[in-house]
Structure 1
Amino acid sequence: MPEPSAGERRSLTVGVVAARTGRLARLGDPLAYVTGLLRPRLRRLVNGGREYTVRLVERDSRSTAEGARQAVLDLVHGEGAGIVLTLAGTQVLPAVADTCEAAGVPCVSSTFPWQVYYYGRGADDTTPFRWTYHFCWGLDAIAEVFADLWEAAGGQAGTVGCLWNDGPQGTWSRHERHGFAPAARARGHRLVDPGAYPEPAADLAAHVTAFAEAGADFVTSAATGRDLALFRRQAAALGSPPRLITCSRWLAYPPSVTSTGERPAQAGVATLVYWTPVHPYRSSLDGTTAGELAAGYEQATGRQWLQPLGLAHALVEVAAHALRTAADPTDRHALAKALAATRLDTIAGPLDWTTGPTPNIATIPLAGGQWQRGARHDYELAVVTNRRVPGLPCTAGLVPTG
């Protein structure tokens, strides 16, 4: 087939919204790194025999919902972005997706439990979104993995203290249909929920006391590093530290991201594992392995790899796939249709938007991990349960939180 001439080439713009300033800036590092890494590799792509030039253009969300909305509008109206990518931020990610939905621009996002993304933004089982697509795990999947961890630590169903805030994390964890709680109870665990605490927390002694009185061996949360550190101090002072703490959200990231200026809140905490250097996945773009991506990030930045790194890379893979397979990559409707039909093996694992659990959503499986003393970093994320992720090795055994 002859090479397309310069006159036949057209330009495609992929917009990237990442936090580069503000409180989420460290969580924006993986997406910013991947954007820089892949920009030179995606300058050209071919769809239907026609070659297109591709631009990856990044804008800062400033770690706020308003900054996220402005970033999308700048990308769409100022840069001509035909598809937008983003991850991270309880307020920021929905703001990006909602702005894209309103503007009629395809969006792909990740690192946000899919029930909160889907139902929390107003969709339901019969009325999906038109433009916005997401891949992630669910609150029910977190509960299943945490139940695996509780049972590994206790040998049977137990009593679990729920340290849940008054924000979206706590509200959706409690949701009786789409939340964490019903899935955990279905495994036979008794949940003790003394009520929501305001974030940031000033005092969690009432939660410590309630858990001790209920005989809770385990505590589960989605706390910030600061708030979990406060809970652990108060539990130790009252002589009632839990046997095991399971925590998602911020505690899925290395201590350097959630530093409290003392012993890391992560120390001994068990958490969800969605991507590591030992995951058995490769990039659909060039065959890069999970281990190679993590090593390259650490070498280039001097910082410990973060789990969102693999998902950030997969975002770009999905965008490239949609641009290559759409009936017309310059047409937003065609791109949205291509996303809805996407089935792709990525560096974050196999993604399939054709099978649900709802329209607009592809899921990724979770393993269980624990922050343990490491050889290369003070604390490293060990894989301690793996039955839900084929081919993923366990790298350590589970130990009490202490």
Structure 2
Amino acid sequence: MREQAVRVNTASAQLTIGVVAPLTGRLAPLGKPLTYVLKALAPQLRHLRNGSRRYDLSIVVRDSRSEPAAARQAVHDLVTADQAHIVLTMAGTQVLPAVADACEELRVPCLSTTFPWQAYVHSRGATPGHSFRWTYHFAWGLDDIATAFARMWEQIEGAPTVGCLWNDDLQGSLLRHQEYGFAPVTSARGHALADLGPYREPANDFQTQVARMREHDADIVTSAATAADLALFHREARQAGLRPRLITCSRWLTYPHTHTTTAPHIHAELADARVATLVYWSPNHPYRSSLDGTTCADLAHGYQRDTGETWLQPLGLAHALVETAHHALSTADDPTDHAAIADALAGTILSTIAGTLDWKRGPTPNIALLRLAGGQWHPGPKGPSLAIVTNHDAPDIPITGTLRPT
């Protein structure tokens, strides 16, 4: 009996992690951190243990092409052709929900990140409180962004009106939402918001928004614009004799503008603007990988050494994505069963390189929260560097610089 039990417990079976990543298209720069992490962790992901049983583990990556339809097809191929037991994805305000919805329809566990949780819920036709069966997410909320931004506004003397430069799409509509957007948080802190008017991406001009900025005497601006659109707005404001003392911007401006566009005039404009943003991960975060103890500084250094490029905030989240998938497969009652994996995700509390992820305490089902700090892009001879300038809501993250109004 002992010999038989040993043979059964050490027998190797196959598990597959499917990944939908933007390898091509407009989101491709944001797919690089995920593909890097998968390559760096490949030696550790060849095998996995669940209790006394050993499994061979394979990683299959399919390209979303930065398009929702292609992303849905990628999920279908991963589930039907590659027999994926769990699907991972990140990046894209339209692409990420498409992946999650496809997984929900095909009844396969999905784990995603880099998207405010309210947007994750609303983009899928649901409201907070709704419980998805198969799809799980970790990130922050729009309220958390509003708080991080307000703490930086409050470092500017006086109580200026904040001009809101928000688009006419999902992102803008949620930021304007009277219950889930910026207003409830910022009004409670005493800030007045002035909507500068919706615009369509990519923008041709911001004359209307600049005029409203003057009308409301707004010398702080908050936005979720692309690098190109924010640079255009800043240039037109300057030409009109206006210069925001501070711009806070989420979404694309959480990454160095040098990564999202190659246009030198955009680089120069945004360097002059000294954009402030949310910080969800950096080399200075004091966390370690649950897989091998790698520190945030180690991960960032390795990325820069191996790619020749500056680290990006999604790098830490990509690593945590893989850590969490590995944990779920290692702890599920039956890692070959989709329902068991989904149940494992729902009960996960895990310390990762991005911080502790706890799906039992989320603000709504299927969500684990990440804490935010506030940062500002400071220009330098080697390009923009992100300084952490506020840490009130994440005090274990060290301050690395001071806020510099223009």
Q: TM-score scaled by structure 2?
A: 0.95
Alignment of 1:45-60 (within 5 A): 45-60=48-63
Match of 1:390 in 2: 395
Query: Equivalent residue for 1:110?
Result: 113
**SS state of the match for residue 218, structure 2?**
coil
Are 1:254 and 1:266, in contact at CA under 8 Å, matched by a contact in 2?
Answer: no
- Find out whether 1:369 has 2:375 as its counterpart: yes
Structure 1 segment 88-103 matched on structure 2, within 5 A = 88-103=91-106
Q: Label 1:43 to 1:152 Cα distance change in 2 as closer, same or farther (>3 A).
A: same
The 5 Å alignment of 1:219-258 reads 219-258=221-260
> What secondary structure does 1:354 align onto?
coil
Question: How far did 1:100 drift?
Answer: 0.3
- Supply the distance in 2 between the matched residues of 1:295 and 1:351 (Cα, whole angstroms): 24
Q: Which amino acid aligns with 1:118?
A: V
Deviations 1:62-117 (A, max 9, x none): 00001111111111111000100000001100000000000000000000000110
Match of 1:309 among 278, 297, 315: 315
Aligned position for 1:201: 203
| Displacement after TM superposition at 1:7 (Å) | 7.1
Asked if the contact 2:10/2:54 (under 8 Å) is kept, the reply is: no
Amino acid at match of 1:261: P
* One-letter identity of the residue aligned with 1:16: V
Q: What does 1:332-347 correspond to in 2, within 5 Å?
A: 332-347=338-353
Query: What letter matches 1:181 in structure 2?
Result: A
Structure 2 CA distance for aligned equivalents of residues 359 and 331 of structure 1? 21
State which drifts further: 207-216 or 93-102.
207-216
For 1:335, what is the secondary structure of its paired residue?
A: helix
Q: Do structure 1's residue 358 and structure 2's residue 367 form an aligned pair?
A: no
Corresponding residue for 2:26? 23
Task: Specify whether residues 184 and 298 from structure 1 end up closer, same or farther in structure 2 by C-alpha distance, changes over 3 A only.
Answer: same
Count of aligned pairs between the two proteins = 399
Equivalent residue, structure 2, for 1:323: 329
Q: Distance in 1 between matches of 2:291 and 2:275?
A: 35
Distance in 2 between residues matched to 1:243 and 1:4, nearest whole Å: 69
Residues 1:168 and 2:176 are matched in the alignment: no
Q: Which residue of 2 aligns with 1:283?
A: 289
How many angstroms apart in 2 are the aligned matches of 1:16 and 1:63? 14
Following the alignment from structure 1 to structure 2, what is the Cα–Cα distance between the partners of residues 11 and 136?
Answer: 30
**2:274 counterpart of 1:271:** no
Could you tell me how far apart the structure 1 residues matched to 2:59 and 2:93 are? 24
The answer to whether 1:122 aligns with 2:125 is: yes
Q: Give the CA RMSD over aligned residues.
A: 1.6
Gaps of 5+ in 1: none
Give the structure-1-normalised TM-score: 0.96
Q: How far apart are the structure 1 equivalents of 2:112 and 2:86?
A: 11
For each residue in 1:275-326, what CA deviation from the matched residue of structure 2 results, as whole angstroms up to 9, or x when unmatched?
Answer: 0000000000000000000000011111110000000000000000000100
Structure 2 residue corresponding to 1:8, chosen from 2, 6, 11: 11
**Partner AA of 1:152 in structure 2:** Q
SS at match of 1:351: strand
CA contact (8 A) 1:223 1:247 kept: yes
Following TM superposition, the consecutive aligned residue runs of length 4 or more in structure 1 with deviations greater than 4 angstroms are 1-7
Query: 380, 386, 397: which one pairs with 1:381?
Result: 386
Partner secondary structure for residue 247 of structure 2: strand
Deviations 1:178-229 (A, max 9, x none): 1123222221111111321111111101111111121112000000001001
Please say if 1:86 is aligned against 2:89: yes
Q: Secondary structure at the match of 1:283?
A: coil
Who is 2:220 aligned against? Answer: 218
Alignment partners' CA distance in 1, 2:383 and 2:6: 52
Contact 2:29-2:260 within 8 A present in 1 as well: no
Q: Where does the alignment leave 5 or more consecutive residues of structure 2 unmatched?
A: none
C-alpha change, 1:128 and 1:6, in structure 2 (3 Å) is closer
